[in-house]
């Protein structure tokens, strides 16, 4: 991200200026009074550490938001000053068909695989981070918990070879149309390319998501508008893009996602009932085990045979009911 002018750094332990002044005691140290005192000490220090962690994370988020806002102003200044020419998707389609201008697709593979412009060149500025090391996994978990499960947006990392790959494909005096899904990452790519010496850059305003099907020649299984959707929201058809498509397609399109939503509720209900049945069966099995133990004790102490048979019969009945 430093290459884009955003001085972000990964959030890790080295960014927390927290030096433990004393060891955090275990929660229990033998005596009742000792365990109580050590428990309080440990809880207080843990609570203070969590507060400091939260403050540092909030400061990081504020700093990140400020850096992003500054970078966005700089990128938008490229268009305002005429260093990068803005094109609508329809104008970009005309330029590709009539003037044979190349289109550079800078989206990650998750979006490119759903829909892309025929004949375009794909060089992502950010790509899906498939690493599972200690530095990336916590960030993936955090992003998933904070909304990735709903939006389906994967963890991305900057493509360090972006500029070199573009320079291998296109000369710096060539007219080049740059596009992404919503128009933000492509503007960042234009900033990089302009600073690298590219002077004939065109930016697709609003990205491919704002394109109509007749604007550009599409390839791929989905419309351009849906290439950026994902997660549970896409599965249930609850994204803004899918609502817009549903308004045009009618009830047939909506019926598919209504059926999915009903299926999700039925699956959740079935899971709940199965868990309840499992808990009930487990309790019955424990009761059967205790009845068997009681029958054994009764035999040992000479309880009447009729009573022992009743216990065994009840145990058998409960076993059958627990199945």
Helices (H), 172-226: 184-195
Number of neighbouring beta carbons within 10 Å of residue 122: 16
Contacts of 188 (CB under 8 A, 6+ apart): 4, 71, 75, 125
**Integer distance in angstroms from the first to the last C-alpha of the chain?**
59
Crossing angle of helices 162-169 and 184-195, in 10° steps, is: 70
180 catalytic per annotation: yes
SS3 104: strand
DSSP 8-state symbol, 17 = -
Exposure of 309 in the CB half-sphere (CA atoms within 13 A): 3
Question: Can you name the residues that pair with 5 across neighbouring β-strands?
Answer: none
Nearest to 172 by CA among 150, 141, 201: 201
Number of neighbouring beta carbons within 10 Å of residue 49: 14
Question: Can you name the residues that pair with 203 across neighbouring β-strands?
Answer: 86, 178
C-alpha torsion sign, points 56, 61, 64, 66? negative
Buried b (16+ CB within 10 A) or exposed e, 254-284: beebeeeeeeeeeeeeeeeeeeeeeeeeeeb
DSSP 8-state symbol, 175 = -
**How far is C-alpha 77 from the geometric centre of its chain's CA atoms?**
31
| Active-site residue identified among 36, 50, 180, 190 | 180
Nearest to 51 by CA among 96, 102, 5, 16: 16
- Active site (catalytic) residues: 180
């Amino acid at each position: 991200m430093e290459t884009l002018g955003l001085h972000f750094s990964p959030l890790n332990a080295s960014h927390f200026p927290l030096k433990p002044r004393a060891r955090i005691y275990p929660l229990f140290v033998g005596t009742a009074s000792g365990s109580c005192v050590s428990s309080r000490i440990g809880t207080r220090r843990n609570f203070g550490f969590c507060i400091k962690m939260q403050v540092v994370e909030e400061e990081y988020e504020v700093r990140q938001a400020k850096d992003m806002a500054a970078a966005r102003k700089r990128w938008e200044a490229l268009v305002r000053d005429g260093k990068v020419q803005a094109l609508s998707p329809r104008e970009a389609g005309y330029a590709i068909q009539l003037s044979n201008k190349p289109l550079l697709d800078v989206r990650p593979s998750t979006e490119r695989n759903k829909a892309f412009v025929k004949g375009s060149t794909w060089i992502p500025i950010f790509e899906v981070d498939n690493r599972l090391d200690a530095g990336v996994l916590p960030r993936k978990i955090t992003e998933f918990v904070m909304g990735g499960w709903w939006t389906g947006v994967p963890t991305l990392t900057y493509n360090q070879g972006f500029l070199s790959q573009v320079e291998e494909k296109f000369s710096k005096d060539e007219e080049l149309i740059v596009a992404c899904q919503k128009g933000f990452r492509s503007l960042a790519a234009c900033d990089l390319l302009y600073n690298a010496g590219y002077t004939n850059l065109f930016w697709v305003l609003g990205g491919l998501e704002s394109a109509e099907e007749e604007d550009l020649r599409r390839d791929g299984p989905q419309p351009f508008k849906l290439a950026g959707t994902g997660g549970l929201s896409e599965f249930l058809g609850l994204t803004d893009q899918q609502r817009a498509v549903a308004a045009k397609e009618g009830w047939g399109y909506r019926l598919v996602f209504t059926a999915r939503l009903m299926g999700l509720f039925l699956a959740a209900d079935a899971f709940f009932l199965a868990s309840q049945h499992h808990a009930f069966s487990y309790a019955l099995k424990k009761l059967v085990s205790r009845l068997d133990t009681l029958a054994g004790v009764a035999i040992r102490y000479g309880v009447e045979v009729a009573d022992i048979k009743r216990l065994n019969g009840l145990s058998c009945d409960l076993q059958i009911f627990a199945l």
